[in-house]
Amino acid sequence: MLRQCPSCKSKNLMMVEYEGGPHRYDGVSEVHCEDCKKRYGRWCGLELQEGEVEPRFCIAKATVYARAGHGVR
């Protein structure tokens, strides 16, 4: 899990747990940087766009993640 923002290197992060819906997970699903306001998914580690959510265990993004050169975790 992220310890600092990949974009601005801040450690001022807020962990977010999704409530309800198909992507609900009992724990952190995404990380928000309170300084630069960027959001990152817990499993994929990719930046999330406005309105986008991190799929549980990065399953739906596995192809995108692999194309980015990171392999599948």
Q: What pLDDT digit, counting tens, does each position of 27-41 carry?
A: 899 999 999 999 999
User: How much is the pTM?
Assistant: 0.73
- The residues spanned by each domain of the chain are 13-67
Q: Which has the closest alpha carbon to 30: 41, 44, 19, 18?
A: 41
**What is the edge-to-edge ordering of all strands in the sheet holding 47-48?**
13-16, 30-33, 39-41, 47-48
Rounded Cα distance, 22 and 43, in Å: 16
- Where b means 16+ CB within 10 Å and e means fewer, 29-39 reads bbbbbeeeebb
> Tens of pLDDT along 1-60?
889 999 999 999 999 998 887 777 788 999 999 999 999 998 888 999 998 888 887 776
Residue 37, beta-bridge partner list:
none
